[in-house]
Chain A
Amino acid sequence: MSSLLLLLFIFGVMVWFVAYHTLALPLTGFVAYVLLSLCSFLFYITARLEGEIPTSIILRSFKTHKRQNYRELCTLFTRRGLIDKRIGDLLHAGLIRYRRGRYVVTARGHLVAKLLFWYQWVFHRPSVG
């Protein structure tokens, strides 16, 4: 599906090249098309999120149980769905690796962590996640 979306995007770029000289605002049109495509792709990827999303699960659980304590809410989750799957994603993305019984952040992972730190500092956000 991702390949199909990419092919569709490239097709759109080719159409733009062909129609370039007929467009009143070709640069604006191209930039708007690229941004719209990125938005579509972003929303598509967001919809395919896997793993347990705590907020969704917690809020949904209140539809059937109006009042819950902490222990009851914890039973909604598994370590596998909440943590292991995400650790697997980080390993797969090369941001961490498993070495001598512990997880180690790679150089790429350090870069991402550093970017997050700077983003939080610039935009005064209290924490990540």
Chain B
Amino acid sequence: MDTFIVGSGLFLFLLFLAFQAVIARFTDPEAVITWLIRIFLSITGLLGIGFIVRIGSVEWFIGSFIIYTLLTTLYVFGIFSIVEASITLFLLREIDRDASRPPSVDTIIRRRLERLVQSGELAKRGESYVLTKRVSYFVLRERGLQMLRWVFGTMGA
């Protein structure tokens, strides 16, 4: 039972990655967060169906769900989030492509503004940018970071 629970959790997480890889090829890249949530919930639903048809016990359902959720959380915040938004990794890729000099501040700001406009966070009105009400990945990440700084911010390094 123990190994079955851990194995199920791991299998569900691998299924999550597989679905993400396939679905990403047919959907708008900016809608990735929406699709990650849908995939997560769909696989949770599959787990629930497995419980209903008695593939496993209540312990199996809860244990597998916990391990699957923790693995997915680690992936989203530890890998996906960093690759999506890390300027450090962007600099590394750019230096790898062209070692003569790193990108300028102008390049980085333009890229970020383009992504914020594409994700719907900002709207361009002529030459100006305005904030929209839409909540997307960047806003969620920003609010998450604020909460984490509030939680950990007073602790020493």
Contacts and interface: CB of A to CB of B under 8 A. Distances in A.
- Decide whether A and B assemble into one complex: yes
Given A35-B74, A36-B70, A96 B92 contact: yes
A95 B125 CA distance: 40
Given A35-B70, A87-B102, A125 B77 contact: no
Contacts of A44: 148, 152
A59 B93 CA distance: 26
B43 interface: no
Nearest to B106: A74
B96 A125 contact: no
A87 B3 CA distance: 44
Contact of A105 (B3, B71, B99, B122): B99
Nearest to A96: B95
B121 A54 contact: no
Given A39-B74, A128-B90, A103 B109 contact: no
Interface residues of B, number: 72
A6 interface: no
A59 B142 contact: yes
Nearest to A110: B96
A92 to B, nearest CB: 11
Interface string B63-94: 10011001101100111000111111111110
Contacts of A128: 83-84, 86, 89-90, 93
Contact of A113 (B96, B100, B101): B96
Interface residues of A, number: 65
Interface in B1-23: 1-3, 5-6, 9, 20-21
B90 A56 contact: no
Given A43-B148, A109-B96, A123 B86 contact: no
Contact of B93 (A68, A113, A124): A113
Given A25-B1, A47-B151, 13 more contacts: A1-B155, A27-B6, A28-B2, A39-B73, A47-B153, A83-B103, A86-B87, A90-B88, A112-B92, A116-B89, A125-B32, A128-B89, A128-B90
22 contacts: A2-B157, A25-B5, A27-B3, A27-B5, A28-B6, A28-B63, A31-B67, A35-B71, A35-B74, A46-B145, A47-B148, A53-B145, A58-B116, A69-B127, A70-B113, A77-B105, A86-B87, A103-B95, A116-B83, A123-B24, A128-B90, A129-B87
Interface of B: 1-3, 5-6, 9, 20-21, 24-25, 29, 32, 59, 63, 66-67, 70-71, 73-74, 77-79, 83-93, 95-96, 99-106, 108-113, 116, 121-122, 125, 127-131, 138-139, 141-142, 145, 148-149, 151-153, 155-157
